[in-house]
Structure 1
Amino acid sequence: MKKLSARRRHPLAALVVLLLALAATGGLYAALAPAPKAQADDSAQSLQITEGKKLYSVGCASCHGMSGQGSTDGPSLVGVGSAAVDFQVGTGRMPAQQNQGPQVQKKKRVYNQGEIDQLAAYIASLGPGPSTPTKDQYSPTGADMAHGGELFRTNCTQCHNFVGKGGALTDGKFAPSLKGVDPKYIYEAMQTGPQNMPSFPDTTMPQDAKADIIAYLQEVDSAKSSNPGGFTLGSLGPVSEGLFAWVFGLGTLIAVAVWMAARTTKAKKS
């Protein structure tokens, strides 16, 4: 005990304790501090948000407000998520032109994909929402095309037609054709429900089901060039084509027969 007390009073005792404390602190920091890659990722994300905010201030704030809160000219963007931005800006629907009419239409996009990613990162920072899907999520590889057809006929044909040709809605609005649309944008449309379309989040329609629908659309799109029945007639299948031939063909024959009978009767009377 006397030796321990003597060491405590040694002039270098305080320095030794300080060094031990610093070593312990350094060890704890090394064990608990974020990894360099995580720090680099955070830095890159912050840079994207900063650049996205600059783009937003120039091209979007006049309608959606300086903080995305919305205005009389545009809805709030808080909580729409990066998927909505990638869809709307990637398809050229946003920024919208003046006098768009009842519905904003697809056009040539203004921003490149890098700028779109920056805008999406900024909007995503305003509030949680659907995120931009990865290629693995929307890829139709290995998807169940038959199941996708069932889902599409149940949820989508009322507006988009049985094979995604699109169709008219009320008040001058319309469901666009899905022919040749990038699978990513189809997936994002189901996620976010743009304009007149209802949304189908993962809680309602899982990721696999969305991929199944995309697989079905790609299959019917590739098959539309060959119509074994002849005319497409809405691509409803050979039954609709046969019914068309029966109703209109038979109707034409009946009309011709009535006309001939009337002509014959008139000739006999004269």
Structure 2
Amino acid sequence: MSLATKHRPAAKKSRKRARRTPLATAALLSLGLLLTGGAYGAVDTLVANAAEDTVDVDMTSTQTIAEGEKLFNANCATCHGIDAVGTSEGPSLIGVGAAAVHFQVGTGRMPMQSNAPQAPAKPQQFDETQTLQLAAYVASLAPGPAIPEDQYLQADGDAAHGAELFRINCAMCHNVAAAGGALTEGKYAPELQTVEPAHIYEAMQTGPQNMPVFSDTNLSPQDKADIITAIRWMTENTNMVGGYNLGGVGPVAEGLFIWVFGIGASVGFAIWLTSRPN
């Protein structure tokens, strides 16, 4: 038998080992699908956001109001009644204005999924164009707070003045760092750090759920803009408000940290010290 013949089986085994196993093929296929899907999702989100940023809807147009009425009758009239006059399941929307609709629908709080102490924020059911159409329809029923102008949403106001107003009017519920806080009976003040400026402004205008209404006689449009600027500043400088390295959740949580760990360590040290022999 020749030398080449002797080594042929070894070469065949080597080639067999080099082949990809079914698991490796499946892993590569899964990785490819994951990367492709992720890239598609990222591009789709960017396109959607760009489309929302460029939405231009004539809120006084008859066609816009008519489209909003169709959406309202199909999705909102069950609770709020035909012509938004209200039912036992939902309040009247006469006079709430476009700002209230834009806030409630734009944050996903409406339509509600179930009755609860408070409507939670969730993914939107309607896109920005449909939300504006709904807002236009409700605004056409009676005068009410309008969607804020862009000049008050740029977060370029007086942050110091806004922080002072926030501490006086908002911090007792939303936390000094705008991180949110618990209220009574299962209700809560949501965090404001990730909320869109338009929705913060509209919440101050309309007083959703447990929040009081801050009309322009209480807080001027520029005051509201300054508060938005302060919230944005706190969001970007999380270690500057509410302490360092504890998530910026405010003095209550940090006081609890000191009480548990600081005083606990002191008590432990005292016990250790007194247990030592003289």
Task: Mark yes or no: TM-score above 0.5.
Answer: yes
2:204 aligns to what?
A: 190
> 1:249 corresponds to which letter in structure 2?
G
* Aligned match of 1:14: none
TM-score in terms of structure 2 length: 0.72
Q: Name the counterpart of 1:223.
A: 237
**Which deviates the most, 73-82 or 243-252?**
243-252
Question: For the structure 1 residues 73 and 152, does the alpha-carbon distance in structure 2 shift closer, same or farther, using more than 3 Å as the test?
Answer: same
Partner of residue 209, structure 1? 223
1:103-144 residue CA offsets vs partner (Å, 9 max, x unmatched):
110111111111111111110111110001121122222x10
Partner of 1:164: 178
Q: For 1:170 and 1:183, how far apart are their aligned partners in 2?
A: 27
Structure 1 unaligned runs (5+)?
A: 1-40
Change (3 A) 1:247 1:94: closer
1:87 equivalent in alignment to 2:100: no
Kindly provide the amino acid, as one letter, of the partner of residue 122 in structure 2. K
**Corresponding position of 1:65:** 81
Matched, 1:174 2:200: no
2:267 to 218, 232, 254: 254
Instruction: Please say if residues 106 and 131 of structure 2, whose CA atoms lie closer than 8 Å, have aligned partners that are also in contact.
Output: yes
CA distance in 2, matches of 1:117, 1:255: 61
Deviations 1:202-240 (A, max 9, x none): 111100000000000000100116787433463349xx9
Inter-partner Cα distance in structure 2 for 1:42 and 1:151? 34
What is the Cα deviation at residue 252 of structure 1? 2.5
The CA deviation at 1:44 is 6.2
Q: Name the CA shift for 1:231/1:107 in 2 (closer, same or farther; >3 Å).
A: closer
CA contact (8 A) 1:229 1:241 kept: no
Q: Please, which moves more after superposition, 44-53 or 115-124?
A: 44-53
State the structure with more CA Rg.
1
Q: Aligned pair count?
A: 221
- CA distance in 2 between counterparts of 1:42 and 1:160 reads 34
Match of 2:119 in 1: 104
Decide whether aligned partners of structure 1 residues 259 and 52 sit closer, same or farther in structure 2, where only a CA change above 3 A counts: same
Secondary structure of the 2:126 match is: coil
Q: Which residue in the other structure is 1:50 paired with?
A: 66
TM-score by length of structure 1 reads 0.74
CA-based RMSD: 2.8
State yes or no: 1:144 paired with 2:147: no
Q: Distance in 1 between matches of 2:75 and 2:245?
A: 48
* C-alpha distance in 2 between matches for 1:211 and 1:43: 23
In structure 2, how many angstroms separate the alpha carbons of the residues matched to 1:171 and 1:72?
A: 21
Q: Which amino acid aligns with 1:50?
A: A
Q: Which residue of 1 aligns with 2:94?
A: 78
Question: Quick one: which amino acid aligns to residue 146 of structure 1?
Answer: A
| % identity of equivalent residues | 47
Residues 67-125 of structure 1, C-alpha deviations (whole Å, 9 max, x = no match): 11101110100000000000000111111112x42111011111111111111111011
SS at match of 1:62: helix
Rounded to whole Å, the distance in 1 between the matches of 2:211 and 2:112 is: 18
Give unmatched runs, 5+ long, in structure 2.
1-56
Change (3 A) 1:232 1:208: same
